[in-house]
Amino acid sequence: MVPSRDALTLRVVYGTLFAGRQGIVVAGECSAAEHRANADRLQAGLDVLMPAELGNEKAQRDLLRAIELARAAARSVLPVAVSASALVGFAGQAIPLPWAQVVVIVDAPFRVPDHPETIPDAWPTAIRYMLERAGGQAREALATWRHSGQRPGETGQPAGR
């Protein structure tokens, strides 16, 4: 799950950083048949990416859908945050420009147990916390990169200094 409903940004970043992996983006509501098809895709090894809105009334529903999908496919939810320095927007969507600095943070997997049958309120709350934490780390890493010129995870002096 990514803390943004911007599916286009997610597609661009995913396609660039995870070029060897195959996945689909699921944005918005889906029918029971689509839900089952997405669970089958997960079980077959594809990634199913679900942007999640944080801080609004849809947040809980988005998180519950992700948990239900993960449970149906016996997979974990991976909280992912993306932060980019330069974006171009159109039609309410934004994509990173080719020269943009992009930071992607993947938090620890949230393993969804089979039981209890009803999803406890604590599960979406925990995933929301993980998404917010990953988002903060991505923004902080991007700000540090822009300030110092040193990419996240690099050691030593940045080129040109």
The CA-CA-CA angle for residues 96, 59, 53, to 5°, reads 10
Q: Identify whether the C-beta of residue 83 lies closer than 8 Å to the C-beta of residue 143.
A: no
Question: Which tens digit of pLDDT belongs to each residue from 31-61?
Answer: 888 888 888 888 888 777 777 666 677 777 7
Model confidence, pTM: 0.76
What's at 14, amino acid-wise? Answer: Y
Q: Identify whether the C-beta of residue 63 lies closer than 8 Å to the C-beta of residue 128.
A: yes
Confidence of residue 145 (pLDDT cuts 50, 70, 90): very high
DSSP H helices, the chain, are 7-17, 32-43, 59-73, 122-148
**Is residue 159 over pLDDT 60?**
no
Residue 5: per-residue pLDDT:
42
Per-domain residue ranges of the chain: 7-148
Euclidean distance between CA atoms 161 and 158, whole angstroms: 6
**Is residue 93 over pLDDT 80?**
no
First-to-final CA distance of the chain: 37
